[in-house]
């Protein structure tokens, strides 16, 4: 994606020093564009936990590079203990996005295939790059498949704008490039189809307001920011043609964990007969679990994220302000689970599939 005319991915290797990995520190967006350098496992663990990088795909890609940097810093005589400690430290940072453990385990498996420390470092480097490249190319393909759904709606509406509601940020900032939920939107916009996006602000972190609006603005996709409680009203009044969200973990039976509030949008969409699609690369499937509600771990974050709100003051300063009486107790569940029955379809890199076990496993027969 382009930022001020220059192409960026969300994570890349420094061109002068391949032991340094660069990321966009998303905590400062949309107000400041800051690039951060990561080198140690602690740098990576902090960046994931504190959400300098976030979004399932990007968390996975970052974990891949983290394991490569862990290999560089692991001594010959203690390599396996050191790399396993790094793996455990990284996996603990955020529990819901399955891409994290998937990318770490992919690295452990790749490194186990070769003998010497030097070979393991090399292998970890190529695997990290492969994980990132795959993420970008899978998202591009999600865009191509999802485009067909938008085309169909646009045809039915005789070229009137297709109104798409999205929640959180499942855009290029949540992946290495393109995004999952946004990829079909960018593909439609770039092919001349009129689209308009309703962007849920996504309390408490405001990924919709801060990140999705910034991305869509950069690509000149028409969009309107709405408070999180607005979607149901819009749906009742025919102002939403489809919903597309991302997911942090999807069971092989089609249950989806995504940013808190996604479930409520799915309920409203179902009540109003509005198609509700979830876009994901296959790295977001958890092939071991079949009951999303019972088995997907839901991250609980600091209450401060609910008690305070961050933004740019009228003096142009980034400020954190309190929004409730001192001493208020707050709960901060970061994700919820939308059951498969509320999902119209999953848009994957291999095509669009029903959110059900047989359909998913026939698209991915290698996981049967
Ligand atoms: O807490 P975040 O910002 O990491 O949550 C991100 C989301 O919920 C996205 O919708 C999700 O990761 C799916 S798109 C990668």
| Residue to substitute in 60, 97, 261 for testing ligand 1 pocket (most ligand atoms within 8 angstroms of CB) | 97
pLDDT of residue 102: 98
Atom of ligand 1 nearest to the CA of 245: 10
Q: Where are the beta strands (DSSP E) in 126-214?
A: 162-166, 195-200
Across the range 47-57, mean pLDDT stands at 98
Across the range 322-326, mean pLDDT stands at 97
Give me the chain's average pLDDT, please. 97
Q: Which residue has the tokens 């609006």?
A: 213
What CATH architecture does domain 144-367 belong to? 3-Layer(aba) Sandwich (3.40)
- Give percent of the chain above pLDDT 90: 99
CATH of domain 2-134: 1.20.120.420
Q: Do domains 2-134 and 144-367 have the same CATH topology?
A: no
Across the range 162-186, mean pLDDT stands at 98
Contacts of 152 (CB under 8 A, 6+ apart): none
Work out the widest C-alpha separation in the chain, in whole angstroms: 68
In Å, how far from its chain's centre is CA 32? 21
| Residue to substitute in 49, 51, 102, 169 for testing ligand 1 pocket (most ligand atoms within 8 angstroms of CB) | 169
Question: Which residue is catalytic, options 43, 177, 228, 248?
Answer: 248
Q: Where are the domains of the chain?
A: 2-134, 144-367
Across the range 173-195, mean pLDDT stands at 98
Q: Nearest residue CA, atom 6 of ligand 1?
A: 55
Q: Identify the residues whose C-beta falls under 6 Å from ligand 1.
A: 54-57, 97, 168, 170, 174-175, 180, 207, 246-248, 258-259, 334
200 catalytically annotated: no
- The answer to whether residues 130 and 110 touch, using CB atoms and an 8 Å cutoff, is no
**Concatenated DSSP letters of 225-250:** EE-TT-HHHHHHTT--SEEEE--SEE
Report which of 31, 28, 47 is spatially closest to residue 39, judged by C-alpha positions.
47
* Tens-digit pLDDT profile for residues 289-312: 999 999 999 999 999 999 999 999
- The answer to whether residues 174 and 210 touch, using CB atoms and an 8 Å cutoff, is no
- The answer to whether residues 354 and 345 touch, using CB atoms and an 8 Å cutoff, is yes
């Amino acid at each position: 994606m382009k930022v001020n005319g220059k192409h960026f991915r969300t994570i890349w290797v420094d061109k002068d020093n391949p032991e340094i990995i660069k990321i966009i520190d998303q905590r400062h967006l949309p107000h400041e564009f800051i690039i951060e350098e990561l080198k140690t496992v602690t740098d990576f663990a902090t960046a994931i936990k504190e959400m300098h990088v976030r979004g399932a795909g990007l968390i996975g890609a970052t974990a891949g590079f983290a394991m490569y940097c862990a290999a560089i810093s692991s001594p010959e005589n203690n390599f396996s203990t050191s790399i396993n400690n790094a793996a455990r430290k990284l996996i603990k940072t955020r529990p819901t996005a399955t891409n994290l453990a998937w990318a770490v385990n992919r690295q452990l498996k790749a490194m186990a295939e070769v003998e010497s420390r030097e070979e393991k470092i090399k292998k970890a480097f190529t695997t990290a790059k492969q994980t990132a490249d795959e993420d970008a190319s899978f998202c591009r393909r999600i865009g191509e498949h999802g485009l067909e759904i938008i085309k169909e709606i646009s045809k039915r509406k005789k070229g009137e704008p297709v109104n798409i509601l999205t929640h959180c940020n499942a855009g290029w900032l949540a992946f290495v490039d393109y995004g999952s939920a946004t990829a079909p939107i960018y593909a439609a916009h770039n092919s001349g189809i009129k689209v308009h996006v309703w962007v849920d602000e996504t309390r408490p972190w405001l990924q919709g307001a801060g990140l999705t609006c910034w991305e869509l603005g950069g690509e000149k996709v028409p969009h309107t920011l709405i408070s999180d409680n607005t979607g149901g009203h819009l749906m009742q009044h025919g102002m939403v043609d489809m919903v597309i969200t991302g997911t942090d973990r999807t069971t092989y039976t089609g249950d989806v964990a995504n940013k808190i509030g996604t479930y409520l949008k799915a309920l409203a969409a179902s009540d109003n007969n509005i198609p509700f699609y979830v876009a994901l690369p296959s790295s977001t499937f958890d092939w071991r679990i079949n009951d999303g509600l019972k088995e997907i771990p839901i991250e609980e974050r600091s209450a401060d994220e609910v008690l305070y709100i961050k933004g740019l003051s009228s003096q142009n300063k980034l400020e954190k302000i309190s929004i409730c009486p001192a001493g208020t107790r707050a709960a901060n569940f970061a994700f919820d689970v939308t059951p498969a029955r509320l999902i119209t379809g999953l848009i994957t890199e291999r095509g669009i599939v029903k959110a059900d076990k047989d359909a998913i496993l026939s698209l991915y027969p290698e996981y049967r």
